[in-house]
Structure 1
Amino acid sequence: GITVRTTGEVPLADEEFATLEENIGFVGLVLAVAMLVTLWFATRSAKIVAAIVVTIVAGLVVTTALGLAAVGALNLISVAFIPLFVGLGVDFGIQIAVRFNAERLDGAATGPALERAAMALGAPLALAAGAVFLGFGAFLPTDYIGIAELGIIAGLGMIVALVASVTVLPAMLMLLKPGTPRREVGFREAAPLDRWLGTHRKAVLWAFGLSMAGSIALLPLVQFDFNPLHLRAKDGPAMRTLMDLMRDPLRTPNTINVLTANPQAARALTAKLSALPEVAEAVSVDSFVPADQEAKLAVVQDAALLLDATINPFDLIPPPSDADNATALANVAQQLRTVAGQSNDAAAPTALRLATAFDRLAKGNPAPRETATTLLVTPLGTMLDQIRAALQAEAVTRETLPPEIAGNWVAKDGRALVQVFPKGDSNDNAVLRRFTKAVRAVAPNASGLPVATQEAAGTVAWAFVQAGIIALALVSGLLFLVLRDVKEVAFTLAPVVLSGFLTLGSCVLIGQPINFANIIAFPLLFGVGVAFHIYFVMAWRAGATDLLQSSLARAVLFSALATGSAFGSLWLSQHPGTASMGKILMISLAWTLVCALIFEPALLGPPKNKKK
């Protein structure tokens, strides 16, 4: 039988949406349950959890509306404002809720507890929101529109998150009136770790310093997977078909195109490119003009002289009648039986079956014989016509090519196209890199899918690097204006930079490349990291001691756990792009938490003025 397999933009898009639809229910349920459970462990109050959820949902709706008003429409990059907003919205909510619980445990009523929490957290939250706002604003000057729009929406989201946290959340708490906590809000069990960090401060800092040095050494090995097909599920029939086609160098869509001044230039360039070891074939309009035509036409003319009398006879006998066909079929059937009876090879049973079929045709009605004639004789006539046409071949030149062929390769203004096919599996990034580099060394103005995807990857990666540098500069300026101390600014940002390097180093060690999907984790890493470290530095400069035993440590821990457990559930998705995003989110949040709870206290050391 014949197997027909389809692929292309429409079948691939259908499979993509089907894969996402299959996973969205399960992943969404895990995400929601993980976040709610973590919020409950952070606050030990269903009413506080409800208040935080309402605040986040309300803020997300407002941010979406403002974002659509600002940029007009969302894209695959800018839609990442959702995890950014939820992650930082959860952080702001947990910070307020945990401090509120601490004040309630000290005996304050709901209203006074909220006032005290606002007095304690107002400055850190405002500074964190302002720093994150500036950090996301650093995306605006980048060349990548999707990232610039993400910066606009995420920056607006930080303002909304702060306003909602100090208005909607307190209002919900006043309305719901959660009860007084029954246990300590801080972590008394962390006292040994606080003492250990104080005693072994230098060793901890040396360990993190060496880890950072190792991560920096691994940076050249960080891979950016520019191939968007690697973000798709591999088990769909359309995707499998595309993969099979891409293994054939002459059927792959990963070709490079070069536009030349004229067909003569195209022919010369085709010869140069065809000689490259990375190139399977280079095609131009002259590729449709056969080589060595004089010798080939001579062979065709000889064949025409030999076969002309056979395929173009002067005397044509009339076609046989139905009775003649029936007699011929019966005779052939008898001959087949005779031959089969004298033979013992494997073809004998086949000959007998064919003889039986011919007998049925010979003895049956004329209609089946007419059908058999149509099926067997008509194609023979077509084949003979093709042979007659082939034997009348003439010389082919560029000018005699059919317009529908020549028009695809030569423009009306005379410019000519050269199409270059890669050698090897074109779904292999290494093959595409070598292929693109080799072709562009000969033709720097080359374009095509491999060139576009690699340049897009470079644009995106540089946009994030550029945004990171600008963000560090802007946030450093804001922190210096508020803190008035270069050392404290360094104490705030050093752990953020460290967690970024550790995340990239971990990606190298586990073989996880950065791609167009999981790169979105890094803005969340920056936003959450800046917020966490601002909280610790502000508490430290106010004289707080034993930071790991405080309500602040509880808030930071469960904020990271809520964000990590929720968006880490994306790791469970069967969709490769979504799963890689969840993996990077989990890795980055894990390092952010380690840097906040271990590195930051060791870096800060004892406060200048301890609280009495």
Structure 2
Amino acid sequence: MTISAKASHSRIYDIFARWSTISYRYGAWILFGALLTAVASSVYVSRNLGMNTDTTDMLSEHLPFRVNMKHYNKTFPQDMETLLVVLDAPTPEQAYMAADRLVARLKEDTTNFHDVYPPNVNDFFARNGLLYQNLPELEQITDSLAAAQPLIAHIVRDPTLPAFVSVLSGAVDELRKGRSMELQPVLSGLSTTLDARLASAPRVLSWQSLFHGEPQKSKYQELIVVKPRLDYTLMFPAEQSIAALHAAAKDTGVTKDGPVRLRITGEVALAEEELNSSLRGMEYAGMITFILVAVVLYFAMRTAGLIFNVLLCLTMGLILTAAFATAVVGHLNLISIAFAVLYIGLGADFAIHFLLRYREVLENGLPPTEAAHISGGDAGAALTACTITNAIGFYAFMPTDYSGVAELGIISGTGMIISLLVTLTLGPALLRYLPKRPPKTSITKGSVGKVLEWSLKWHKLTYAATAVAAIAAIALLPQVRFDYNLLNMQDQTGEAVRTFRELLADTDHSPWHAVVLAKDHQETKRLAQRLAELPEVSKVITILDFVPAEQEEKLQLVEEMALTMGPISVSSKAQATGEDTSLRQRKALDELAAALDRFIAERPGHPASGTVRTLKASLTSLFVQLDAASTDEKRKLLNAIEEDLLATLPIALRSLHTATEAAPFKEQDLPASLGGRWHSQSGEYRLAVYPAEDLNDNEALRRFVRAVQEVAPNATGAPIVSLDAGEAVVKAFVQAFLLALLGIVVALLIILRSVKYMLLVLTPLLLSSLFTAAFTILLNVPFNFANIIALPLLLGLGIDSSLHMVHRSLNNEMVSEVLIHTSTARAIFYSALTALVDFASLMLSSHQGTASIGIMLTVGLTFTLICTLVILPAILRTPVRSANSTSP
């Protein structure tokens, strides 16, 4: 080292040596002041620190995709910050009625909801729904109703099980005699309904499906778009609205044990679920970290007093950093909330280096006062350099467009400065009241140094292995990828995520679609045509699609349907005694079974014979169960079957009657609740552009977004936001990494006054970053919006270890064989181990983004430790000897 560099280190040494001595001497006053400061800071934080859960605030509002999204949200405000309510039911009638009741209830609650919009549940679609069918489909419905009309006419006069089954028996006999009838849908529906009831999983028969001549599906859905009132002063802004939604569902009969199932997803629900899993992950990580850190500290310190010292310094530093965050930023976000776990790992590094140096001096026989003086000077000089480089690593986030991480940068960067001051103020003060005699067992020649001797003994092998690993990592680098899918960061077991992924599987109604705004009708048609021609696009929907074509032809079919059905209304059930009803029900079922037997015997090759045999098997199973049941059990079972078969008939008939009242309409006749979502008050038209591929594939996402943007540069929507936000994040972190690297290089040149030693310090960092990036490929853990903080962060973290090694070797002119047995090497090992258990605990989080941060940091810090304690000592062999021979 040069004389000026030594002089500079000497001044820093003197400052912190005196600082530590003063802190040691006036320990009582310092501890009392620290207690008051901690109490005041804790009260201040608890009363003033907020939580900003609005993820849109995490990127600069000046980015193009945010400008486009902001304009869209202003033009169609009803589409932003919404909940998507999904109602699942065994029949379309049950789903529709449940949605209708729930919508009416939610619209009454203006305290919790701004707007409630059911896309399919309204009078307009109930009346004109048939016009949205194409002509072949409408003709099929008309034919099905014509064929079913006699059956329906009989049942509506006597809506009971005996009447239904008797009519069906007659129809089967007519079919056996050669009459052309389409009975398979109703026979199949009856069989499925019976089997479900016998299996104790009741499933109501859908008459609407029968009217349409289509098989009944296993599940039907209705969606409701709800715009809740959000309170961002709360930790969970939509908590009250979601609770009110669940209460409304319960009030309208949608319960957990009922046939209709309620699920909630959408933008707001996903954000609430993500915050919950993120906080839960941090809570578990924090508890586990403190326990594991205490275990590591035991092996590092071997005395309860020094362990207590580290933990108290950590706690004090954490409180002061939180107070700084409250005063300067005012809130935490979903990323900056990680500062607490990060601080535990980093803050322990400062205390461990100071206290192990103190113990080493005590082992050399010096008194505690002198030990505090020397350890304060030695550790202070090294920790100052580490603080500067660490802070630079964090502060490098601040100029980027990723404001969410910029806040983490300013909080954590300042936290490093706070940690330095707390360690060298509170640490010496605590030492005065701890046992002052040196420990009986010296750890100077510990197991850490013995293990590290291997790399020096086989240094050529170390060089070769490092070179091979570096070449292999460089070869893997082109495969490094970024995951733009925000869903992949969340807890995959959460209801909102699972429901959203299920909706994505339906490409015709995927919530992930692009949105384009057009100024007028002409531009809407032009853009729709151009976008629809793209191979990456499956369809484009505009307000024009809500005015069906060929209305005159369709209305003729609707009129024919109305004439066929006639003025049908369902009569009330006649009251009868239980025993009499049960006998009639069983007799009708026996007659149906006999009719089925006759059909099977006489028409074995008929196209309907398979369906008939299936129904006969279902009836046989029913008879076995009825014969084994008591009188009361028989009555309950038969009444339940009657309810399963006929419950939806009145609803289906009312819907059908309403649908036959369709009338021609134009765009201006569309209801305001529908038209306002496609044509804004400012005159702009909305186009929904649906992808042809599964956007869970990042390459498909990129193809779709770029293709749409070629036609409509100002397009927005979830796919565009995900891709452009991801690229903005990558750009921000590349910028942060380069700024951090540049800042650290300048700082090291100032501190070390040597390019050679600056490169020695950086070598382990660059190697560990290279190996970490390669391992993201091998572990299949791609970079994402959360874990991308690892690389620039590791640059700031890992610089500590290599800087401590180089600083100690130069300041004390030690060769590597001696250096690896010093407190510095042990402190590096145990500090890294402390940080490792800190970061590894994040992997236990159910939030996949948080867990991936833990994986990335754990892998990165492991490589940093290897590069610093195995590779760097081998490299230092030659330079240090040269330095020893030339130092003045």
TM-score range, shorter chain: 0.7 to 0.9
Give the one of 746, 749, 757 matched to 1:480. 749
- Superposed CA deviations along residues 20-74 of structure 1, whole A, max 9, x for unmatched, are 6776665444322211111111111111010011011101111110121111111
CA contact (8 A) 1:226 1:457 kept: yes
Deviation at 1:14, TM superposition (A): 6.0
> Cα–Cα, structure 1 residues 146 and 186, in superposed 2: closer, same or farther, change >3 Å?
farther
Q: CA deviation at 1:513?
A: 0.9
Change (3 A) 1:409 1:106: same
Q: Percent identity?
A: 34
1:445 maps onto 2:445 in alignment: no
CA RMSD of aligned residues (A): 3.7
Partner residue in 1 for 2:69: none
The match for 2:395 is 137
CA apart distance, 1:125: 1.3
Letter paired with 2:415: G
Provide the rounded CA distance (Å) in 2 between the counterparts of 1:50 and 1:328: 81
In structure 1, C-alpha distance between the alignment counterparts of 2:781 and 2:396, rounded to whole Å: 26
Deviation at 1:596, TM superposition (A): 0.5
> Partners in 1 of 2:465 and 2:346 — Cα distance?
29
Query: Alpha-carbon deviation of 1:579?
Result: 2.1
Q: What residue in structure 2 maps to residue 489 of structure 1? A: 758
- What is the alpha-carbon distance in structure 2 between the residues aligned to residue 124 and residue 63 of structure 1? 22
2:544 maps to 286
Structure 2 SS opposite 1:250: helix
Secondary structure of the corresponding residue to residue 516 of structure 2: strand
Give the whole-Å Cα distance in 2 for the aligned partners of 1:322 and 1:194. Answer: 96
Are positions 1:184 and 2:451 aligned together? no
| Residue 389 (structure 1) aligned with residue 670 (structure 2) | no
- Who is 1:603 aligned against? 875
Report the Cα offset of residue 17 of structure 1. Answer: 6.1
Instruction: Tell me the equivalent position of 1:579.
Output: 851
**Deviation, structure 1 residue 136:** 2.0
- The one-letter amino acid paired with 1:520 is I
Counterpart check, 1:35 vs 2:293: yes
SS where residue 176 of structure 1 aligns?
Answer: coil
Aligned letter for 2:431?
A: L
Counterpart of 1:73 in structure 2 is: 331
One-letter amino acid of the structure 1 residue matched with residue 808 of structure 2: A
Contact 1:23 1:574 in 2 (8 A): yes
Q: Is residue 34–residue 565 contact of structure 1 (8 Å, CA) maintained in 2?
A: yes
Answer yes or no: is the 8 Å Cα contact 2:839–2:857 preserved in 1.
Answer: yes
Is residue 2:318 matched to residue 1:60? yes
Q: What does residue 197 of structure 1 align with?
A: 456
Give ranges in structure 2 of 5+ residues lacking alignment: 1-202, 204-258, 601-612
Q: Taking structure 1 as reference, are residues 496 and 330 closer, same or farther at Cα in structure 2, changes over 3 Å only?
A: closer
Describe the superposition over 1:352-405 as per-residue Cα deviations: whole angstroms up to 9, x where unpaired: 99xx9xxx9xxx9xxx9xx99x96885576256335413xx32x4333333332
Per the alignment, residue 566 of structure 2 pairs with 311
2:381 corresponds in structure 1 to: 123
Q: 1:200 to 1:386 in 2, by over 3 A?
A: same
Structure-2 change in CA distance of 1:522 and 1:309 (3 Å): closer
Where do 1:158-557 residues align within 5 Å? 158-181=416-439, 182-187=441-446, 190=449, 193-194=452-453, 197=456, 200-201=459-460, 204-293=462-551, 295-297=553-555, 299=557, 303=560, 308=563, 311=566, 340-341=593-594, 343-344=596-597, 379=651, 382-383=654-655, 385-386=657-658, 388-390=660-662, 393-394=663-664, 396-542=665-811, 543-545=813-815, 546=817, 547-557=819-829
User: Which residue, 245, 261, 268 being the options, matches 1:4?
Assistant: 261
State the alpha-carbon separation in 1 of the partners of residues 533 and 785 from structure 2.
Answer: 34
**CA–CA distance in structure 2, aligned partners of residues 248 and 309 of structure 1:** 35
Task: Answer yes or no: is 1:107 the counterpart of 2:365.
Answer: yes
Which secondary structure does the structure 1 equivalent of 2:884 belong to? coil
Does the residue aligned with 1:431 lie in a helix, a strand or coil?
helix
8 Å Cα contact 1:5-1:237 kept in structure 2? no
Deviations 1:60-113 (A, max 9, x none): 111110121111111122223223322221111111111111111111121111
Q: Equivalents in 2 of 1:57, 1:321: separation in Å?
A: 74
Determine if the alignment matches structure 1 residue 588 to structure 2 residue 843: no
Within the candidate set 89, 92, 97, 2:355 is matched to 97
Kept in 2, the 8 Å contact 1:284–1:417? The answer is: yes
Within 1, Cα distance between the matches of 2:583 and 2:344?
84
Structure 2 residue identity aligned to 1:6: R
How far does the alpha carbon of each residue in 1:141-195 deviate from its partner, in whole angstroms, 9 at most, with x for none? 1111112222211221111111111111111112213541312334477468547
Of 403-412 and 182-191, more deviation after overlay is shown by 182-191
d(CA) in 1 for partners of 2:382 and 2:436? 24
Aligned to 2:57: none
Residue by residue over 1:465-513, the C-alpha shift from the partner in whole angstroms, topping out at 9 and shown as x without a partner, is: 1111111112211221222211111111222122111111111121111
**Aligned partners of 1:571, 1:245: CA distance in 2, in Å?**
29
- Supply the distance in 1 between the matched residues of 2:453 and 2:423 (Cα, whole angstroms): 30
C-alpha distance in structure 1 between counterparts of 2:583 and 2:452, whole Å: 100
The TM-score with structure 2 as length reference comes to 0.60
Q: Please name the residue that 2:238 is paired with.
A: none
SS at match of 1:259: strand
**Distance in 1 between residues matched to 2:843 and 2:299, nearest whole Å:** 22
Count of residues in correspondence between the two structures: 588
Q: Tell me which moved more, 332-341 or 403-412.
A: 332-341
Q: What residue identity is the alignment partner of 2:364?
A: D
Structure 2 CA distance for partners of 1:137 and 1:337, relative to 1, 3 Å: closer
Task: Give the structure 2 partner of residue 569 of structure 1.
Answer: 841
- The partner residue of 1:157 within 415, 436, 439 is 415
Q: Which shifted more, 586-595 or 106-115?
A: 106-115
Mark the CA change 1:553 to 1:169 in structure 2 (over 3 Å): closer, same or farther. Answer: same
User: 1:566, CA displacement in angstroms?
Assistant: 2.5
After TM superposition, give the deviation of residue 442 of structure 1 in Å: 2.3
Structure 1 residues 293 and 53: CA distance shift in structure 2, 3 A:
same
Q: 1:397 and 1:180, CA in 2 relative to 1: closer, same or farther beyond 3 A?
A: same
The CA distance in 2 between the partners of 1:213 and 1:400, in whole Å, is 68
User: How far, CA to CA, are the matches of 1:386 and 1:432 in structure 2?
Assistant: 42
Partner amino acid for 2:566?
Answer: I
